[in-house]
């Protein structure tokens, strides 16, 4: 049988890994796919670099439209990134009847509904295993392996850059800026690294996982997004003393809100008990914990970013498409796991209604009555204290830190209490608030 012809758009970090792994393991991959898979054309703005990487093994062009419009190409791999030209190229490839593989979570989290609908109408596949958690086959696990389950929640460390930054800051005492630079050099960070550090990238991935886990449309605009830029190293240290680790978590959870079923979709720094396996996921590694009603908890761990780990997922999609290309489109696994006409309109909960426990840290004047005022405010807000830590003031200092861990509380009540605390003359500056999850 003739090999499947693939056109690759963008031969940067992931594109290079894809090209190299596909060549290195081509015989193994052919035996698995039942057909050879050949990258016949590569488009990249930098044709000199693309030619060096491909070494005459395929055609190199600067214009990605040549690939998308070439009738010889069966599958287009989009590895350019962003939602500008990438969106136009993906939609054009679909319109031309080509299957698409992409690692572009930004594109799918914002325009996924349109893209999946177009693919459905045309009878082609859009595969995106690499878009969530790099090399970890979490899409496959959620969409197929766990298909018997009613998923209760998914919580993951799904951004390698921020996990790398938090780990290096904690273990080596390095500063934020220099670790971010390292992450960029290692190819983990997005073209715009604010997507990583402000939690946007993790929210793109959480949005896709929520859609697949709960059978809802992709709704990135409803996700709550908070990154790690406001985290202070003292909070990382206090959390350790209290038996917790701080991780940037992407969480999608089925809950009851005002008597109706709803979904929480949120990304924020989170205190997790240090004894949990996921709390010990370090560096650029990712991990996703899924709670299903039948299977219980399952944990998926691996490299969430980088050239070849991500290529591993891209190529898995190529093999899947090669195997399924001749199957009746009705019998393929739906893009978002549920049949398109059986999606749910279950609502996303506004962040103010979300219930979690909280870590609160406040800098206070070391004088009588301070603690009483703070605990009174918490009691007025019906916020129950789980644990408290007061640091000794340093020599000659008249200020200290108080750390309070609360029981489960609604976000809006905590925000109201924080506002009142911050108005006390004895509370100095802003109160730090970090959410907590037990993940059990």
Return the active site residues.
205
Query: With contact defined as beta carbons under 8 Å apart, do 418 and 431 qualify?
Result: yes
Whole-angstrom CA distances from 166 to 133, 180, 195, 310 are 17, 10, 16, 21
Residue among 365, 356, 364 at smallest CA distance from 434: 356
Residue 321 makes CB contacts below 8 A (sequence gap 6+) with 4, 75, 99, 101, 125, 127
Fill in the DSSP letter of residue 149: S
Q: Would you count residue 164 as binding ligand NDP (CB under 6 A)? A: no
Handedness of CA 7, 13, 16, 19 (dihedral sign): negative
Q: Would you count residue 191 as binding ligand NDP (CB under 6 A)? A: yes
Residue 374 makes CB contacts below 8 A (sequence gap 6+) with 362, 364, 402, 404, 421, 424, 427
**Nearer residue to ligand HSE within complex by CB, 135 or 381:** 135
Among 44, 74, 129, 226, binds ligand NDP (CB under 6 A): 44
Q: Would you count residue 180 as binding ligand NDP (CB under 6 A)? A: no
* 406 strand-pairing partners: 385
**Nearer residue to ligand NDP within complex by CB, 99 or 433:** 99
CB of 180 to ligand NDP, least distance (A): 14
CB of 266 to ligand HSE, least distance (A): 18
Among 190, 308, 401, 437, binds ligand HSE (CB under 6 A): 190
Residue 45 site contact among ligand NDP, ligand HSE, none (CB < 5 to 8 Å, cut-off depends on kind): ligand NDP
Residue 161 site contact among ligand HSE, ligand NDP, none (CB < 5 to 8 Å, cut-off depends on kind): ligand HSE
CB of 163 to ligand HSE, least distance (A): 8
Fill in the DSSP letter of residue 425: T
CB of 100 to ligand NDP, least distance (A): 13
d(CA 363, CA 382): 22
Among 110, 161, 322, 432, binds ligand HSE (CB under 6 A): 161
Q: Is 167 helix (H, G, I), strand (E, B) or coil?
A: helix
Which residues between 126 and 155 bind ligand NDP (CB under 6 A)?
130, 134
| Residue 434 φ then ψ, to 5° | -125, 135
**Nearer residue to ligand HSE within complex by CB, 188 or 358:** 188
Which residues between 71 and 110 bind ligand NDP (CB under 6 A)?
79-81, 85, 103-104
Q: Which stretch binds ligand HSE (CB under 6 A): 118-126, 156-164, 379-387, 429-437?
A: 156-164
**Nearer residue to ligand HSE within complex by CB, 292 or 304:** 304
Cβ-based neighbour number of residue 310 at 10 Å: 29
CB of 333 to ligand NDP, least distance (A): 21
d(CA 424, CA 372): 12
Q: Would you count residue 160 as binding ligand HSE (CB under 6 A)? A: yes
Q: Which stretch binds ligand HSE (CB under 6 A): 81-89, 187-195, 231-239, 368-376?
A: 187-195
Alpha-carbon torsion angle 305, 310, 312, 314, nearest 10: 160
Query: With contact defined as beta carbons under 8 Å apart, do 409 and 356 qualify?
Result: yes
Among 118, 305, 337, 427, binds ligand HSE (CB under 6 A): 305
Residue 168 site contact among ligand HSE, ligand NDP, none (CB < 5 to 8 Å, cut-off depends on kind): none
Max intra-chain CA distance, the chain? 83
Residue 10 site contact among ligand HSE, ligand NDP, none (CB < 5 to 8 Å, cut-off depends on kind): ligand NDP
d(CA 154, CA 151): 8
Whole-angstrom CA distances from 254 to 149, 152, 251, 355 are 13, 5, 10, 12
Which residues between 194 and 213 bind ligand HSE (CB under 6 A)?
196, 201
The residue count for the chain? 440
Residue 196 site contact among ligand NDP, ligand HSE, none (CB < 5 to 8 Å, cut-off depends on kind): ligand HSE
Which residues between 289 and 318 bind ligand NDP (CB under 6 A)?
305-306, 310
Binding site for ligand NDP (CB under 6 A): 9-15, 43-46, 64, 79-81, 85, 103-104, 130, 134, 187-188, 190-191, 305-306, 310
Binding site for ligand HSE (CB under 6 A): 134, 159-161, 188-190, 196, 201, 304-305
């Amino acid at each position: 049988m003739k090999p499947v012809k693939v056109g690759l758009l963008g031969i940067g970090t992931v594109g290079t890994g894809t090209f190299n792994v596909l060549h290195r393991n081509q015989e193994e991959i052919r035996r698995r796919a039942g057909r050879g898979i050949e990258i016949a054309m590569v488009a990249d703005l930098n044709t000199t670099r693309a030619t060096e990487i491909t070494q005459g093994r395929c055609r190199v062009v600067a214009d990605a439209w040549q690939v998308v419009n070439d009738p010889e190409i069966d599958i287009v791999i989009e590895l350019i990134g962003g939602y500008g030209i990438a969106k136009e190229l993906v939609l054009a490839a679909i319109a031309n009847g080509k299957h698409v593989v992409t690692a572009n979570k930004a594109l799918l989290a914002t325009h996924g509904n349109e893209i999946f609908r177009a693919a459905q109408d045309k009878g082609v596949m859009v595969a995106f295993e690499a878009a969530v958690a790099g090399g970890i086959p979490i899409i496959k696990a959620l969409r197929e392996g766990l298909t018997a389950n009613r998923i209760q929640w998914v919580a993951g460390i799904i951004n390698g850059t921020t996990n790398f930054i938090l780990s290096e800051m904690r273990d080596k005492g390095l500063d934020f800026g220099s670790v971010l630079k390292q992450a960029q050099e290692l190819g983990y960070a997005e073209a715009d690294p604010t997507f990583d550090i402000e939690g946007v990238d993790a929210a793109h991935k959480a949005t896709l996982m929520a859609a697949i886990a709960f059978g809802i449309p992709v709704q990135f605009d409803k996700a709550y997004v908070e990154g790690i830029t406001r985290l202070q190293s003292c909070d990382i240290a206090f959390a350790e003393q209290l038996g917790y680790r701080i991780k940037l978590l992407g969480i999608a959870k089925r809950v009851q809100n005002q008597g109706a079923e709803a979904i929480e979709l949120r990304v924020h720094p989170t205190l997790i008990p240090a004894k949990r396996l996921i709390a010990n996921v370090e560096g650029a590694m990712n991990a996703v914990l899924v709670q299903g009603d039948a299977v219980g908890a399952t944990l998926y761990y691996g490299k969430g970013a980088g050239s070849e780990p991500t290529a591993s997922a891209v190529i898995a999609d190529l093999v899947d498409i090669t195997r399924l290309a001749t199957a009746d489109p009705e019998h393929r696994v739906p893009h978002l796991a549920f049949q398109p006409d059986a999606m749910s309109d279950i609502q996303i909960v506004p962040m103010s209604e979300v219930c979690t426990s909280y870590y609160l840290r406040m800098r206070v004047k070391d004088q009588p009555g301070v603690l009483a005022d703070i605990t009174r405010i918490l009691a007025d807000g019906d916020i129950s204290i789980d644990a408290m830590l007061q640091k000794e003031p340093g020599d000659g200092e008249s200020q200290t830190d108080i750390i309070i861990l609360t029981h489960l509380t609604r976000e809006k009540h905590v925000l109201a209490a924080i506002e009142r605390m911050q108005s006390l003359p004895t509370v100095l500056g802003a109160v730090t608030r970090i959410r907590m999850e037990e993940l059990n």
